[in-house]
Amino acid sequence: MAFFKFNNIRVAGIACAVPMNKVKTESYKSLFGDEEVVKFMAMTGVKESRRTSEFQTCSDLGYRAAKELLAKKGIAAEEIGALLFVSHSPDYRRPSTAFVLQYRLGIPKEAVCYDISLGCSSLVVGMQTVASIMNTSDIKKALVVVGDTAGKSVYPTDRSSAMLFGEAGAVMLLEKTSNVKDEICALVRSDGSGYRYMIIPGGGYRNLHASEEVVMCEDGNERTLMNSFIQGTSVFTFTIFDVPRLIKDFLTQTKTTPDDFDCFAFHQANLYILKQIAKKTKIDFERMPITLDRYGNTSGASAIVSLCDRYGKDDERKVIKVMACGFGIGISLGITTFEIDTDDILPIYEDNEIFEEGLITNPNQLYEKK
């Protein structure tokens, strides 16, 4: 069992940013028809989402969130000893986007920086990895940046995904403390037999120059090999059975119950799935913030977006105990618990800025002196 427990490490702050561009789900009625869209909204709960512009990335949004968080906390970039970027939406095939963020934020060369390629479970795995690094080093402060721009890989007429995804970037600050009561727990699982359930078959080094011919797939949706494929039935089965089992095993391992937690910040897969998970695990659904109605399925950023939406503008300062859960592509799933002061939860920021220096449209730009 991949169970982790860390003492003397706390979540010192979280922040997120979303694009300013709003897409109403109802706007798809002209493409898919009234009945299809109404049915989709009822099942998923997605009424509106946020989408990035052509050259905006989730690292741009994560950068904005990180700048706001460091400023709010009064922490200099030089104090950050590790930065992990956990996402399936990197800026480039290479190098790792973590290095781009290190450069933009001014984090020192002595810091540990790298990417982890994960989607919906990225926050949990990122937290667990950074806490493990801090637990075995002299690093006192670290950042985990998560997010995705999943909508960019969806074929425009794909009924299963075109209306589902929103885009966001988020950040979490972890900090070493002298308080032994500061505790982070995590349980992580993987099932590689489901690697084809959610996949973009082309563009990786298995099939670098995949055909972009549009094919009518067996599920009735057109796609190319460069687009996202989601096997809905397999994904639904996994979320309805494996995720509740993970939660129950975690509660058993930690000798806790759902009543011990103030908030359940879960991946915003869709509304029906979240209700089923809550029902099967006896979680009070009122304590599970819902943001997919306004922001869509924001993949690995979901949990932080939900917390920022619920507590980011709350004037009542208090310490809350959070259970966060991510599950999806891989298959990867994980759960973590931590305490956080609501004063360290920032509101959701809106941002359309892009990293102009990083937009390389001509190879000769790489030879220009900065």
pLDDT score at 370: 64
* Interval 35-40 mean pLDDT: 96
Half-sphere exposure of 49 (CA within 13 A, CB side): 29
Q: Is the dihedral of CA 69, 70, 71, 72 positive or negative?
A: positive
> What is the band of 281 on the pLDDT scale with cuts at 50, 70, 90?
very high
Q: Is the pLDDT of residue 239 over 80?
A: yes
* Interval 124-130 mean pLDDT: 97
**Beta partners for residue 335, in sequence order:** 187, 325
DSSP state of 62: H
pLDDT score at 81: 98
- Condensed to tens digits (0 to 9), the pLDDT of residues 130-164 reads 999 999 999 999 999 999 999 999 999 999 999 99
* Interval 7-35 mean pLDDT: 97
Q: Is residue 329 part of a domain?
A: yes
Beta-carbon count within 10 A of 53 CB? 13
Residue 190: both structure tokens together: 């993987």
**Beta partners for residue 48, in sequence order:** 24
Q: Given the structure tokens 């999806």, which residue do they identify?
A: 328
* Interval 196-213 mean pLDDT: 96
Q: Is residue 367 part of a domain?
A: no
Beta-carbon count within 10 A of 71 CB? 11
Is 4 within 8 Å of 128 (Cβ atoms)? yes
Q: Is the pLDDT of residue 255 over 80?
A: yes
Q: Given the structure tokens 């694009």, which residue do they identify?
A: 19
> What is the band of 315 on the pLDDT scale with cuts at 50, 70, 90?
confident
Q: Is residue 368 part of a domain?
A: no
Residue 337: both structure tokens together: 């618990």
> How far apart (Å, rounded) are the C-alpha atoms in residues 45 and 99?
36
Hey, what's the torsion of the CAs at 363, 63, 141, 12, to 10 degrees? -160
* Interval 231-244 mean pLDDT: 92
Q: Is residue 146 part of a domain?
A: yes
Q: Is residue 358 part of a domain?
A: no
Q: Is the pLDDT of residue 233 over 90?
A: no
> How far apart (Å, rounded) are the C-alpha atoms in residues 158 and 32?
9
Q: Is residue 262 part of a domain?
A: yes
pLDDT score at 317: 86
> How far apart (Å, rounded) are the C-alpha atoms in residues 86 and 305?
15
Name the residue range of residue 320's domain: 2-353
Is 349 within 8 Å of 17 (Cβ atoms)? yes
* Tally of domains in the chain: 1
Is 327 within 8 Å of 194 (Cβ atoms)? no
278 burial via Cβ count (<10 Å: 0-12, 13-18, 19+): buried
Q: Is the pLDDT of residue 237 over 70?
A: yes
Q: Is residue 42 part of a domain?
A: yes
Beta-carbon count within 10 A of 254 CB? 17
> How far apart (Å, rounded) are the C-alpha atoms in residues 251 and 332?
19
CATH number of the domain enclosing 140: 3.40.47.10
> 104-135: b or e for each residue (b if 16 or more CB lie within 10 Å)?
bbebeeebbbbbbebbbbbbbbbbbbbbebbb
Position 238, amino acid: F
* Interval 165-192 mean pLDDT: 96
Q: Is residue 366 part of a domain?
A: no
